[in-house]
Chains A and B, each alone.
Chain A
């Protein structure tokens, strides 16, 4: 029993013995210990704060993406790079409204879809005008898919589509630019060459700090059939579908693909002549990029930890050579080589961990400062737990790695030679 307990007990004893000796030594050389750990402090502080900044950036971008909606699928025509449509004319590639007929019945995971036609037109009201407003042809389902309801008047209905009425919805921005009354319902504006009656005002697009400039908020909406008739088949036409649940995104895409391949009469070997795009795909891509960036930045800043580690090794070597006599004495009174090795190793590891602790504190302060930089979109910066663990682990590893050489040197000293050392 005693023999079984002997080995772990001896190890435990070696451990607390080394910690006791190392702490004593660090305390005896306070000023030097603090200076030595500075390298590690700076290293850990910069690693943690850089990771915190990147994490904050990522959180910001993610929240911006989410404001765009994650269960929407954008369907657009696309000329494949190979296969039979490689050099097909745009006439074959472009969408026509007919290909979406029956989509709702054939794709059960799709909640709804809207055809979209997009153009840019001058808008006039009396003497006021807007040179180029975005004009969209939309289906009534657009309101639900884009989550933009009318704040005044009424949304589009099937009646507008079937009758091909010249009606339009505008944004408050357009109303203000054209200097119309607050209640502009029933007024007529000229879009392009034709006159449209305003039936409602649509709420402004959600402004996101990141993608604010992506689309102008001077938007005019007209029924899709009207737009199709107005601009003819050469207009840029695409569609937006929404799936029933975000989890069904993959299924919905598969169904859409199958459906579209059929309606576009693609053969089994032909590549798709359309493209399905999901915000989530972009999210995934962004996540990959963000991870790579974090790894690279962390690695680059990790070099400062390396420099700190070399500082530790240097000071440990100095410590070994100036304490040679003491090491000789310790050996003479019965310190085993392992005890000497552990004493120096634990000393360097404790120095590094101590540096890591202070560094993490400094990193936290830096992070709070970074979060306060105005206009840097880093207000969500925080140190993730894994970054703390990583930098602490790295600091400890630095201690072991760079402490090993001096510790082995100390453990191998010959006691007779060491006691003779001046």
Chain B
């Protein structure tokens, strides 16, 4: 039962394409064995989309995230970000792309324990071409935007889990990235704090931010406007949130009947 849908479920067809993957593969060599972590993935993401990538472990969603985040290079295929072909870039070029166009949010926050929230948010600007002199101002503004104006001088160990993730989101956004990549952003948080963070994502999406979110949890994926499900290195379904819900309901009904 394969219902692979290549037509992207885009709300506004005329908006700018941010990400375009064309038949991308990623092959790892482990000894003599070749593992196809991604096996011909094609994908288009438009500006201001809110996408959840789901799938069991080993389905290739982490590999897809690393590729989208320019941490890794595809074995074959084309990856265009904001219309630039990234496949031919060297390590320095990829670093520049990551700095200017991509914001990462990690499951375990990845904050520097010795530095204040402000210093943590400033960090990407240190490596940016023009952000050096305005880094204090921009970092402060970004902390205000995620609702941490009163936590500027606090160190990560003086912050709660939710606050830590807000600092991490502020850090991801401080360079005005084209896309925000979040890898299980609520994985280390309790359900109430998770809801807070997801509401922040909703708010950012409403402000025009393009978001790609990797998650295991259906409750998290429900916030997204588009859900991509992966299986064995391929895109299994790519539907709008409502269609995805409906299909799941139908499947549950179907399997329910079978199980009866």
Q: If A13-B132, A416-B66 touch, does A330 touch B123 (CB 8 Å cutoff)?
A: yes
Q: Is A338 an interface residue (CB 8 A)?
A: yes
Q: Which residues of A contact B99 (CB under 8 A)?
A: 333-335
Nearest Cβ distance between residue A337 and chain B, in whole angstroms?
5
Tell whether A337 pairs with B71 under 8 Å between CB atoms, given A13-B132, A419-B110.
Answer: no
Q: Are A334 and B114 in contact (CB under 8 A)?
A: no
What residues of chain B lie closer than 8 Å to A28, measured between beta carbons? 114
Of the candidates A21, A326, A337, A419, which one forms a contact with B126 in the assembled complex, judged by CB atoms under 8 Å apart?
Answer: A21
| B5 sits at the interface (CB 8 A) | no
Instruction: Mark out the residues of chain B between 122 and 143 whose CB falls within 8 Å of any chain A CB in the assembled complex.
Output: 123-124, 126-129, 132
A329→B106 CA distance, assembly (Å):
10
Complex contact B127–A326 (CB within 8 A):
no
B175 CB-CB contact with A under 8 Å: yes
Distance A325 CA – B109 CA, assembled complex (angstroms): 11
The answer to whether A333 and B104 touch across the interface, beta carbons within 8 angstroms, is: yes
Instruction: A401 to B104: give the CA distance in the assembly, Å.
Output: 35
Distance, CA A28 to CA B106, complexed state (A): 24
Check A333 against B72 for contact (C-beta < 8 Å). Answer: no
Are B106 and A337 closer than 8 Å at their CB atoms?
no
A130 CB → nearest B CB, Å? 83
B69 close to A (CB within 8 Å): yes
- What does the 1/0 interface line of B82-122 toward A look like (CB < 8 Å)? 00000000011001111110001010001010100000000
Q: Nearest Cβ in chain B — how far from A6, in angstroms?
A: 10
Residues of B within 8 Å of A338, CB to CB, are 92
State whether A17 and B132 are in contact (beta carbons under 8 Å apart), knowing that A325-B110, A332-B104 are contacts in the complex: yes
A13-B132, A17-B132, A416-B72 as given contacts; A334 in contact with B127, CB under 8 Å: yes
From known contacts A325-B110, A332-B98, infer whether A415 and B127 are also in contact, taking CB-CB under 8 Å: no
Q: Which of A132-156 contact B (CB under 8 A)?
A: none
Question: Nearest Cβ distance between residue B181 and chain A, in whole angstroms?
Answer: 10
A339 at the interface (CB under 8 A from B): yes
CA A218 to CA B66, docked complex, whole Å: 96
Interface size band for B: 20 to 34
* B96–A334 touching, CB < 8 Å: yes
Name the interface residues of A309-340: CB closer than 8 Å to any CB of B.
325-326, 329-339
Look across to chain A and name the residue whose beta carbon is closest to the beta carbon of B93: A336
Residues of the B chain whose Cβ atoms lie less than 8 Å from the Cβ of A332: 69, 71, 98, 104, 110
Best-surrounded residue of A332, A333, A335, A419 (most CB of chain B within 10 A):
A333
Measured in the bound complex, the distance between the Cα atoms of B100 and A326 in whole Å is 19
Q: What residue of chain A has the Cβ atom nearest to residue B123's Cβ?
A: A333
B171 in the interface (beta carbon within 8 A)? yes
Q: Which residues of A contact B92 (CB under 8 A)?
A: 336-338
Task: Say yes or no for A231: interface residue by CB 8 A criterion.
Answer: no
Residues of chain B contacted by A20 (CB below 8 angstroms)? 126
Shortest C-beta distance, B136 to chain A (Å), equals: 13
Bound complex: CA of A17 vs CA of B92, how far in Å?
16
On chain A, the residues within 8 Å of B132 by CB distance are 13, 17
Q: Which residues of A contact B95 (CB under 8 A)?
A: 331, 334-337, 339
- CA separation between A326 and B156, bound complex, in Å? 14
User: Once bound together, how far apart are the Cα atoms of A21 and B119, in whole Å?
Assistant: 11
- Name 30 interchain pairs, CB-CB below 8 A, sorted by A: A13-B129, A13-B132, A28-B114, A325-B110, A326-B112, A329-B110, A329-B123, A330-B127, A331-B98, A332-B69, A332-B71, A332-B98, A332-B110, A333-B98, A333-B123, A333-B127, A333-B171, A333-B175, A334-B95, A334-B98, A334-B99, A334-B127, A334-B128, A334-B175, A335-B126, A336-B92, A337-B95, A339-B95, A415-B71, A416-B66
For the A-B complex with A325-B110, A333-B99 known, give 10 more contacts whose Cβ atoms are closer than 8 Å: A330-B123, A330-B127, A331-B98, A334-B99, A334-B128, A334-B175, A336-B91, A336-B96, A337-B95, A419-B106
Q: Point out residues on B near A: beta carbons under 8 Å.
A: 66, 69, 71-72, 91-92, 95-100, 104, 106, 110, 112, 114, 123-124, 126-129, 132, 171, 175
Q: Footprint of B on A, CB under 8 Å?
A: 13, 17, 20-21, 28, 325-326, 329-339, 415-416, 419
Nearest 7 CB-CB pairs, A to B? Answer: A334-B99, A333-B124, A336-B95, A334-B98, A336-B92, A335-B127, A329-B110
